Amino acid sequence: MPQDDTAIVPMTPDHLDAAVALSVEAGWPHRRADWELVLGLGEGRVALDRAGQVLGTVLFLPFGSTAGAICMVIVSERLRGRGIGRRLFTAAMELAGPRVLRLTASPQGEPLYRSMGFEPQEYIFQRQGVVRAVEAIPGPELARPDDLAQIIALDAAAFGTDRSALLTAIAARGRFAVIRQGDRVRSFAACRTFGRGELIGPAVVSEDADAKALLAFLARECEGRFVRLDLMPGTGLEPWLDQIGLMEVDTALVMWTEAPQLAAGGPRTVVLAAQAVG
């Protein structure tokens, strides 16, 4: 089909069934509810053919007024290599305006993103499986509703930009575990339903040892169920995650147009909120 027959238009909830079909075709686990979460926080574009069939998708998710993420970039397999991906991605960058942007690249998407000014930052590691028996580690407890402001502040320090809308949406759909130091929340992790089962993330810690304790706390609640998490590099948790059944199945490249400068020694992200959003 010539490129001119393809229209790039705003994505609405009416496009979600077709979007789910495209992500299934791409081998991604997203359910309609997972698309709805991200579309509800941002704006999308779809590529349509003359008959109104959805050929491709892209979503832009703002993080405040200065940063954002581009995600769910998919073109129907039979129509790849014809410029539709580039047109969708350009439309998402127009939505983003001057913001600094983050994405997680598959090998298929990486050449396009490099050509649009994104630079590689680090690899993250997709882990998943049915959770085996997990030994409890003392420290974590379930968060209270009034912990959310501290959770949002910790996430902002670790991610480099405010993501309050995302964290609030996750709180409405799942649960947070925290480790306190006096009155203060020192570290946290979240868990919610996603894809084939549960997703653990984000997890942000001020002390290295808190990561395993928080993940164990949430994984124990999911014993015997399918869990996914997207692990940052350098955590040292890999052998333990293998032991509890969360095996590495894929890697992906985090790219930014301009990566935020994070304070040395501050809280750090050990597990992403989701591969799509960072």
Question: Which parts of the chain fold into alpha helices (H)?
Answer: 16-25, 32-41, 84-96, 110-115, 148-159, 164-173, 209-220, 238-243
Helix, strand, coil percentages, rounded to 5, for the chain: 35, 35, 35
Residue 217 or 256: the one with the smaller Cβ distance to ligand COA is 256
Q: Residue 275, interface with ligand COA (CB under 6 A)?
A: no
Residue 112 or 165: the one with the smaller Cβ distance to ligand COA is 112
Residue of 38, 39, 59, 74 interacting with ligand COA (CB under 6 A)? 74
To ligand COA, the closest distance from the beta carbon of 58 in angstroms equals 8
To ligand COA, the closest distance from the beta carbon of 43 in angstroms equals 18
C-alpha to C-alpha distance for 75 and 54, rounded to whole angstroms: 9
To ligand COA, the closest distance from the beta carbon of 75 in angstroms equals 4
To ligand COA, the closest distance from the beta carbon of 139 in angstroms equals 35
Q: Residue 19, interface with ligand COA (CB under 6 A)?
A: no
Q: CA torsion 35→246→241→252, rounded to 10°?
A: -50
To ligand COA, the closest distance from the beta carbon of 57 in angstroms equals 9
Tokens read off for 32:
């309609």
Q: CA torsion 200→202→203→206, rounded to 10°?
A: -170
Q: Residue 116, interface with ligand COA (CB under 6 A)?
A: no
To ligand COA, the closest distance from the beta carbon of 86 in angstroms equals 3
Tokens read off for 124:
């993250």
C-alpha to C-alpha distance for 119 and 258, rounded to whole angstroms: 8
C-alpha to C-alpha distance for 165 and 43, rounded to whole angstroms: 14
Residue of 8, 48, 54, 84 interacting with ligand COA (CB under 6 A)? 84
Q: Which residue is nearest to ligand COA (CB)?
A: 85
Binding mask 85-114 for ligand COA (x = CB under 6 A): xx------------------xx-xx-xx--
Tokens read off for 126:
């997709």
- What would the 3-class secondary structure string for 34-47 be? HHHHHHHHCEEEEE
Question: In terms of residues, how long is the chain?
Answer: 278
To ligand COA, the closest distance from the beta carbon of 77 in angstroms equals 7
To ligand COA, the closest distance from the beta carbon of 93 in angstroms equals 13
Q: Residue 39, interface with ligand COA (CB under 6 A)?
A: no
Q: Residue 80, interface with ligand COA (CB under 6 A)?
A: yes
Q: For residue 28, what are the CA distances in angstroms to 35, 137, 178, 184, 255?
A: 11, 32, 30, 37, 20
Q: Residue 64, interface with ligand COA (CB under 6 A)?
A: no
- Which span sits near ligand COA by CB under 6 A: 82-90, 117-125, 131-139, 233-241? 82-90
Residues making contact with ligand COA (CB under 6 A) = 26, 73-75, 80-86, 105-106, 108-109, 111-112, 115
